[in-house]
């Protein structure tokens, strides 16, 4: 048995705890909100983030961070990307250098433009690191619907260790050594999902969404390659797989946020209505700045950035994308 502490009791952290519990691993979840801890402990249901799903008694629920981290083999980072740095700074004194830090968040830090592996290396450079990513809605994983994801680490041994711990009849895990590509695929697909949602909100159809997704993965791969990723990663689960599920499902908070934006909703009202962190909103800013830093052409990302941060009219953005200079589809080749 492997002992796991999960920092963050949102829908994904809870779903992963259920999967680990099904595999007979002792697991504790840390939540900052005392009231939420008491509610889940009493009802054995995360009504705020994963309603209707029963949480077994064996899964520990606590607001005591020391209790959740102490003597664990793996610490799962299931908090929003923009909070990871501060959480690690606040609790690094509790984390032993042999504990594996497993990131399941999908974003890029705004101020530094760092991926989560770079944030971890900044604060806890000696700890082993891995990321779990791919097309995996928490709502479906929690109901044991067949799901496939990828575990990435610079260490083959660590990636295979994560694979062994999470693998189950309904949860298949592949391994990949390309940490950069897996992190970028997971983060940047949220930006494109906002675009797909905006398209839906404007009343456009399947043709438009297919174009956004297809050209979107080209942008993701283009930036990924410039940052040292393996281009083939973006043809896999952490790339096109995650993009498909996030752009097409109403489970996707990024797509739902995009729909509201396309319908004309103000950005502050959008996040209020979704009720959960929409990683793509912050990631759009980071992605746009990375495209400038690495001199990479990312027209869809640029238009979404201008809609979110410069108040550009979404219909003008569509018009600009359609009437750009003519291109060869295989221009990168």
Rounded mean pLDDT of 127-145? Answer: 98
CATH architecture of 4-177: 3-Layer(aba) Sandwich (3.40)
15-29 per-position pLDDT tens digit: 999 999 999 999 999
List the chain domain ranges.
Answer: 4-177, 181-322
Pairing of strands 129-133, 147-152: antiparallel
Please name which of 275, 249, 117, 272 lies closest in space to residue 189, comparing C-alpha atoms: 249
Percent of the chain with pLDDT strictly greater than 90:
92
In this structure, of 39-43, 193-197, 227-231, 270-274, the range with the lowest mean pLDDT score is: 270-274
Please name which of 53, 25, 261, 78 lies closest in space to residue 145, comparing C-alpha atoms: 53
Pair 55, 18: CB distance under 8 Å: yes
CA distances from 250 to 132, 137, 292 (A): 22, 10, 31
In the predicted model, is pLDDT for residue 332 greater than 70?
A: no
Looking at 98-242, which runs of residues are DSSP E strands?
Answer: 100-103, 129-133, 147-152, 171-176
Neighbours of 333 (CB within 10 A): 5
The domain made up of 181-322 is a member of CATH 1.10.1040.10: yes
Neighbours of 140 (CB within 10 A): 17
Sheet with 27-30, strands from edge to edge, namely 60-62, 27-30, 4-7, 74-77, 100-103, 129-133, 147-152, 171-176
In the predicted model, is pLDDT for residue 242 greater than 80?
A: yes
Give the separation between CA 227 and CA 245, rounded to whole angstroms.
24
Does the predicted model carry a pTM greater than 0.75?
yes
In this structure, of 61-70, 136-145, 188-197, 317-326, the range with the lowest mean pLDDT score is: 317-326
DSSP code of 126?
Answer: T
284-312 per-position pLDDT tens digit: 999 999 999 999 999 999 999 999 999 99
Percent of the chain with pLDDT strictly greater than 70:
99
Positions marked active-site:
189
Pair 13, 21: CB distance under 8 Å: no
DSSP code of 94?
Answer: G
Which residue would you say has higher pLDDT here, 271 or 194? 194
In the predicted model, is pLDDT for residue 46 greater than 70?
A: yes
Rounded mean pLDDT of 170-190? Answer: 98
User: How confident is residue 231, by pLDDT bands cut at 50, 70 and 90?
Assistant: very high
């Amino acid at each position: 048995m492997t002992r796991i502490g999960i920092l963050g009791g949102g829908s994904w952290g809870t779903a992963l705890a259920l999967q680990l519990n099904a595999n007979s691993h002792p697991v504790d979840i840390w939540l900052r909100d005392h009231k939420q801890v008491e509610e889940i402990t009493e009802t054995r249901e995360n009504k705020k983030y994963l309603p209707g799903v029963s949480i077994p008694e064996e899964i520990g629920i606590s607001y005591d961070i020391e209790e959740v981290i102490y003597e664990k083999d793996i610490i799962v980072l299931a908090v929003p990307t923009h909070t990871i740095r501060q959480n690690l700074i606040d609790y690094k004194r509790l984390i032993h250098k042999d504990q594996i830090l497993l990131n399941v968040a999908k974003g890029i830090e705004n101020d530094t433009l760092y991926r989560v592996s770079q944030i971890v290396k900044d604060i806890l450079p000696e700890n082993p690191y891995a990321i779990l990513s791919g097309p995996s809605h928490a709502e479906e994983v929690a109901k044991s619907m067949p799901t496939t994801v990828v575990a990435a680490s610079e260490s083959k041994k660590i990636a295979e260790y994560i694979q062994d711990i999470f693998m189950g009849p309904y949860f298949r895990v592949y391994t990949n050594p390309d940490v950069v590509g897996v992190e970028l695929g997971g983060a940047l697909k949220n930006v494109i999902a906002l675009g797909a949602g905006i398209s839906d909100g404007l009343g456009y159809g399947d043709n438009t969404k297919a174009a956004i997704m297809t050209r979107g993965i080209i942008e993701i791969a283009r930036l990924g390659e410039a940052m040292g990723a393996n281009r083939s990663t973006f043809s896999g689960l952490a790339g096109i797989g995650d993009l498909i599920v996030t752009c097409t499902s109403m489970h996707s908070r990024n797509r739902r946020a995009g729909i509201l934006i396309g319908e004309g909703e103000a950005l502050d009202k959008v996040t209020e209505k979704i009720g959960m962190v929409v990683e793509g909103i912050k990631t759009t800013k980071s992605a746009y700045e990375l495209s400038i830093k690495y001199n990479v052409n990312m027209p869809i990302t640029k238009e979404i950035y201008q809609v979110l941060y410069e108040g550009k009219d979404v219909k003008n953005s569509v018009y600009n994308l359609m009437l750009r200079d003519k291109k060869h589809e295989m221009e990168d080749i």
